Chain A
Amino acid sequence: MKSSVIIFPGSNCDRDMDVALKKFGFKNTMVWHNDDKLPKSDLIVLPGGFSYGDYLRCGSIAGKSKIINSVIDFAKTGGLVLGICNGFQILTETGLLPGVLLQNKNIEFICKNVFVKINDKNNKYFNKINKEILELHIAHNEGNYFCSDDELKEIENNNQIAAYYCDEKGNCDNDSNPNGALKNIAGILNKEKNILGMMPHPERMIDKYLSGEDGSIFFKNLLKNLKI
């Protein structure tokens, strides 16, 4: 399976993502934001970081970069696009995913491990994943998911909420909500379920000695689903 990771000026999780994808068997290519064509890929990843210094709004400038038109075309023809953290912010700014990531409720940069509960498995990312609650890492200042009441109704009706923040046991409440996100939303899918944006970083949890292995579960499962 072939993947591509887009590098924007200010991306800083691009190489971590490259390491993770290769570790689980993807043939990965790094793509510069100023290119206009994507290599043939089964998966495009928009990595975490601070693209364009978070100028204007997080992800807004990257959302208009040269490569992004090819990413949008790829996504609209059903190609898998995964946005992590800043990548999630970019996906909302392009309009590929509904809503927006606001500044964290407590105005603090949050960097810690959290638990997320997978909500929808009817997609290539989480189909048949053998763990419901994953321990992943978050590191962001703008991760507070927000959308209008009408949009919320629509994404709930379409089962577009990919994952919720929760505690170790899977309880989703204020105490397990790190950033004030609406309904504890940690990740969102598009209606067609080929685009996933999420704030937590699976690529930071791929080594049992350094962190944890719940990210490994995510990548292994994704690869398995892509091969079917």
Chain B
Amino acid sequence: MKIKVVVTLKNGVLDPQGKAIQQTLNGMGYSNVQGVRQGKFFDLEIAENDEAKAKAVAEEMCKKLLANLVIEDFKIL
């Protein structure tokens, strides 16, 4: 079963890449872009048919490896 995970920086954590992307977009003429935060996307293929179980194991993996909870939040889609 496929589980999708998004990891993003917590509010307040500096994201210099996001900032640079925003400035570039603004420079390209997209002057209405007021903020960019860059994150990560994971497509996990888990050998499990029960969706709840697969999501539970994905959550455990997020806490242990995929996200650093000091600076990042994760969302299981």
Residues of A whose CB lies within 8 Å of any CB of B are: 56-57, 60, 64, 92-93, 99-100, 102-107, 144, 146-148, 151, 180
Tell me if A107 and B13 are in contact (CB < 8 A): no
Q: Is the CB of B65 within 8 A of A102?
A: no
| Contact sample, A vs B, 19 pairs, CB 8 Å cutoff | A56-B66, A64-B64, A64-B65, A92-B70, A100-B68, A103-B16, A103-B17, A104-B16, A105-B16, A106-B16, A107-B16, A107-B17, A146-B13, A146-B70, A146-B71, A147-B70, A148-B70, A151-B70, A180-B14
Give the chain B neighbours of A105 by CB distance below 8 A.
14, 16
Asked if B3 CB lies within 8 Å of chain A CBs, one says no
B contact residues, range? 10 to 19
Residues of B within 8 A of A106 (CB): 16
Per the bound structure, the CA–CA distance linking A103 and B20 in Å amounts to 13
Contact of B70 among A64, A100, A104, A144 (CB under 8 A): A100
Q: Which residues of chain B are near A103, meaning CB under 8 Å?
A: 16-17
Give the Cβ gap from B74 to chain A, nearest Cβ, in Å. Answer: 13
* B14 x A102 contact (CB < 8 A): yes
Q: Is the CB of A56 within 8 A of B14?
A: no
User: Shortest CB–CB separation between residue B33 and chain A, in angstroms?
Assistant: 18
B residues within 8 A CB of A102?
Answer: 13-14, 71
Q: Would you call B14 and A146 a contact (CB within 8 A)? A: yes
B interface residue numbers (CB < 8 A to A): 13-14, 16-17, 20, 64-66, 68, 70-71
CA distance A147 to B16 in the complex (A): 17
- Taking CB atoms, residues of chain A closer than 8 Å to B13 are 102, 146
Which residues on A sit within 8 Å (CB–CB) of B17? 103, 107
- Tell me the minimal C-beta distance from A214 to chain B in angstroms: 30
CA separation between A105 and B66, bound complex, in Å? Answer: 23
Cβ–Cβ contact A57 & B70, under 8 A: no
Q: Which residue of B has the minimal Cβ distance to A98?
A: B70
Assuming the contacts A56-B65, A64-B65, asked whether A99 and B70 have C-beta atoms less than 8 A apart, the reply is: yes
The minimal Cβ–Cβ distance linking A31 to chain B, given in whole angstroms, is: 23
Besides the contacts A105-B16, A107-B20, what 7 more A-B pairs have beta carbons closer than 8 Å?
A: A64-B65, A99-B70, A102-B13, A102-B71, A103-B17, A151-B70, A180-B14
Select B71's contact among A100, A104, A107, beta carbons within 8 Å. Answer: A100
Nearest chain-B residue to A144 (Cβ)?
B14
A39 → chain B closest CB, angstroms: 28
Which residues of the other chain, B, contact A99 by a CB distance below 8 angstroms? 70
Contacts of A104 in B (CB 8 A): 16
Which residues from A are CB-within-8-Å of B16?
103-107
Q: How far is the CB of B41 from the nearest CB of chain A, in Å?
A: 13
Query: A83 CA to B31 CA in the complex, in Å?
Result: 44
User: How many angstroms from the CA of A93 to the CA of B68 in the assembled complex?
Assistant: 8
